[in-house]
A and B are shown apart, each in its own frame.
Chain A
């Protein structure tokens, strides 16, 4: 089975500061990795994904993430955040082979203060 741990339930940062949202996963098989964002009263939107290849993945809205297989981590970063980045962020994994389903972390609420 797969599991995902998001190490911070809430992250407050000031506008234009850098941010890192941490994600660790556990799996006995190869997985794909994803970050989704959820704005209030909306569904989930894909920020970025790691399927294979380069371990540094760039996504939308200036976000990027680095896959570290030895540390089983997939941390999300942005060098300078904006008020509009206030949202909940979810890390997720799915098996490369087998059932098409995402296993999500508990989410990290990112709050941007002016």
Chain B
């Protein structure tokens, strides 16, 4: 069974640009969550999607957005990039349908560097 796949694995952008990251969950998983990992702030929850609806959202500015498609694949977008957006962005999928955390399966992440 294939795991969670994130693309691209590495990317470099400049300030002011925008970026789109993609996540393909494990087959059959309908919940997809996104986390940002930085050395200073650690792992922080961005948002969670279930059946194409954003179910939960963390404390990030509106520049961070996401969506989920009917096949459960998800994308997140960051507009008007800032230096502080440099981070590892992790996607996780889950079977959970109750809204509570069952086991989350993480991808290897997309490492974004903003210059």
Closest chain A residue, CB of each to CB of B91: A43
Beta-carbon contact of A43 and B100 below 8 Å: no
- Of B45, B103, B104, B108, most buried by chain A (CB within 10 Å of CB) is B104
Q: Which of B86-113 contact A (CB under 8 A)?
A: 90, 92, 94, 96, 99-101, 103-109
Give the total of B residues in contact with A, Cβ under 8 Å.
27
* B interface: dominant SS: strand
Beta-carbon contact of B109 and A49 below 8 Å: no
In the complex, which residues of chain B have a beta carbon less than 8 angstroms from the beta carbon of A36?
106
Contact A104/B42 with A43-B106, A43-B107 known, Cβ cut-off 8 Å? yes
Residue from B33, B99, B101, B109 in contact with A43 in the complex, judged by beta carbons closer than 8 Å = B109
Closest chain B residue, CB of each to CB of A106: B42
CA distance A57 to B25 in the complex (A): 27
CA distance A104 to B37 in the complex (A): 10
Q: Closest CB of chain B to A73's CB: distance in Å? A: 19
Closest chain A residue, CB of each to CB of B100: A100
Beta-carbon contact of B55 and A100 below 8 Å: yes
Beta-carbon contact of B94 and A100 below 8 Å: yes
Of the A-B pairs whose beta carbons lie under 8 Å apart in the complex, a sample of 19, sorted by A's number, is: A42-B109, A43-B4, A43-B107, A43-B109, A44-B90, A44-B92, A44-B106, A45-B106, A46-B103, A95-B100, A96-B100, A99-B48, A99-B56, A100-B31, A100-B55, A101-B33, A102-B35, A104-B44, A107-B43
Residues of chain A touching chain B, judged by Cβ–Cβ distance below 8 Å, are 32, 34, 36, 41-46, 49, 90, 92, 94-107
